[in-house]
Amino acid sequence: MSSPRLRTDRLSSSVWRGLFWRGFPNPRTTDAALLQVVLAALLPFAVCLSASMSLFERQASAQTASSLAGSWHAEPMTVRWVVGAWGDACGPRPSGGGDGGGAVTIEEQGSELRITGPGKTYSTDQCWAMHPELGRQSHTGAGRSWKTVCRTAPNDARQEILTTTLTATDEVISFQESGQYQFVIQGQTCSASSGRWRIYRRQPLAPAAPAVPEPARPRPENPCATPGAPARLEVRPARKLMRAGETFQFRAAVTDARGCPARVPVTWELSPSDGPAQLADGSLSIAAGASDARLAVTASAASQAVRVDVEVVSDARYAALLASGDFDAEGASADAATATITSGSIGAQQTAGEGERPQRKWTFVGLVVLIAVTFGGVGTLLWRRAVRAARERRKARALRAGSGTIALGDQLGDRGGTGVGSRWNPGVTVPEATRVEPDWQAMAPVKAKTVCPVCGTLYEVKDLKACPKDGAQLLPVNA
């Protein structure tokens, strides 16, 4: 009969063989075997822990990676060509193919980038120097790295292979493209290779403008919250046409100097009070069958009163007065009866018929009269100046003709003596001339009929039409 310890050892050995592979050493043999058992038990846990940490790192990296979309600056593209065999039949040697760079915009479209710049739009799933004969052969994109291989068709005479790669960080994107070109023409082999490089750098974001708090808008004050003293009483309309059986409500308003309604009661009075009408709180009612009559409605407030003229007419006269244009369709005039209320005033100050049309008409008449008077005064002033100038020129011509008259003897050359010689007969002497000043007061003024507006000469002949000197048309002289 076996002991309990022996049965326990056998059970443990069978369990370990079932858990692990066949031929595993007995854990009772050595300490090294026991260590192997412990490591074998911890191995699945270590694998699971490593996988979990790797998955967590990838998720954390994906969450913390910032978006590449936004504004970037592309540096000028560097292009290098290495030309191998290139005969004359190959044509011009290849060169160029770059650009000067500038501001670009990058958009994220799924796992690819779309770069839009001056004159060109590029996507990371293509090659840079694409053309219709070139097709994409392969493309890979993982994380922030993209690689695209493009080449022409195998049966194309011109063989071209492009390999484009891009790698990106949060602030810099590196671009590189290499190309291989080979074709045969006229028995000559043409081969060349190219390389393109460029760096994209993220543009710094403009600093956000500090938020300026919107100033508190003052609450608009009601200017009529506290009305002032009554300054104006107005009743509309100033004239009213009514027919028998009609009722009309007159409108009265008392306002202060700012036009705000003043809380002042208005009283109404009808004259004559015993006529075919009744007045209550500004509402006038005409009795049915009433004959034509003239009534006066008076509104009073703050010791001032205004009067409204009411005319009761027949239907035929009502229609005729409406056709005159002085009343609206309801028989009311457009103007208002008003009164200005002043402190300490006694009695009523009425201003009836304050319509705009009569005031505008008299303003126009006043302007016309003022303009006519102004033109008349200017014309009179110019005519007086012309007459005065003509008189001055006439006096000047008289003075130039001679400053006086020369008194000689009775006959030239009749007397001898020691006089001066005569210019008509030098041998004959005449007495010395005696200067006599002209008597201007004795000269009678010329009664001119016409005047020349150019030279200012006056003419006594009324029938003369043109000036003999300059041919200008003569003007009549009214003075």
Q: Read out DSSP for 128-171?
A: TT--TT-EEEEEEEETTEEEEEEE--TT-SSEEEEEEEEEE-SS
pLDDT tens track for 107-118: 998 889 999 988
Most confident of 307-321, 347-361, 417-431: 307-321
The answer to whether 379 touches 478, Cβ cutoff 8 Å, is no
- Confidence label for 347 from pLDDT (cuts 50, 70 and 90): very low
- Confidence label for 445 from pLDDT (cuts 50, 70 and 90): low
Q: What is the DSSP string of 373-413?
A: HHHHHHHHHHHHHHHHHHHHHHHHHHHHH-SSEEE--SSTT
Greater pLDDT, 422 or 104:
104
pLDDT on residue 8 = 45
In this structure, whether the domain defined by 232-354 belongs to CATH 3.40.50.1970 is answered with no
pLDDT value at 59 more than 50: yes
pLDDT on residue 126 = 92
Average pLDDT over residues 64-83: 86
pLDDT on residue 52 = 63
Q: What is the DSSP string of 54-110?
A: HHHHHHHHHHHPPP--EEEEEPPPEEEEEE-S--GGG-SPP-------EEEEEEEET
| Residue that the structure tokens 């008392």 belong to | 254
List the chain domain ranges.
Answer: 4-51, 70-202, 232-354, 363-403+438-476
pLDDT on residue 119 = 80
| Residue that the structure tokens 């808008």 belong to | 217
pLDDT on residue 473 = 84
pLDDT value at 219 more than 60: yes
pLDDT on residue 446 = 52
Could you give the angle at the alpha carbon of 383 between the alpha carbons of 378 and 384, nearest 5°? Answer: 100
- Confidence label for 39 from pLDDT (cuts 50, 70 and 90): low
Distances in Å between the Cα of 377 and the Cα atoms of 372, 373, 374, 388 are 9, 6, 5, 17
Average pLDDT over residues 156-164: 91
Greater pLDDT, 424 or 78:
78
H/E element, 357 = helix 356-401
pLDDT value at 431 more than 70: no
Rounded CA separation 74/91 (Å): 32
The answer to whether 231 touches 341, Cβ cutoff 8 Å, is yes
Distances in Å between the Cα of 188 and the Cα atoms of 2, 86, 89, 435 are 97, 8, 7, 129
The answer to whether 244 touches 287, Cβ cutoff 8 Å, is yes
Percent of the chain with pLDDT over 70: 71
Mean pLDDT score of the chain: 77
Q: For residue 83, what are the contacts with CB-CB under 8 A and spacing of at least 6? A: 93, 94, 191, 192
The answer to whether 458 touches 477, Cβ cutoff 8 Å, is yes
Whole-model pTM over 0.85? no
Over its C-alpha atoms, the chain yields an Rg (Å, rounded) of: 61
pLDDT on residue 150 = 95
pLDDT value at 31 more than 70: no
pLDDT on residue 20 = 42
pLDDT value at 411 more than 90: no
Average pLDDT over residues 194-204: 91
Average pLDDT over residues 332-343: 80
pLDDT value at 406 more than 80: no
Average pLDDT over residues 219-239: 83
Average pLDDT over residues 51-76: 70
Greater pLDDT, 4 or 68:
68
Q: For residue 82, what are the contacts with CB-CB under 8 A and spacing of at least 6? A: 192, 193, 194
The number of CA neighbours under 13 Å toward the Cβ of 446 is 16
Percent of the chain with pLDDT over 90: 19
Rounded CA separation 129/176 (Å): 12
Using alpha carbons, select from 411, 399, 409, 408 the residue that is nearest to residue 437. Answer: 399
Rounded CA separation 31/476 (Å): 155
Q: Is 222 exposed, middle or buried (0-12, 13-18, 19+ CB in 10 A)?
A: exposed
| Residue that the structure tokens 């070109």 belong to | 181
- Confidence label for 211 from pLDDT (cuts 50, 70 and 90): confident
pLDDT value at 157 more than 90: no
pLDDT on residue 256 = 86
pLDDT on residue 115 = 92
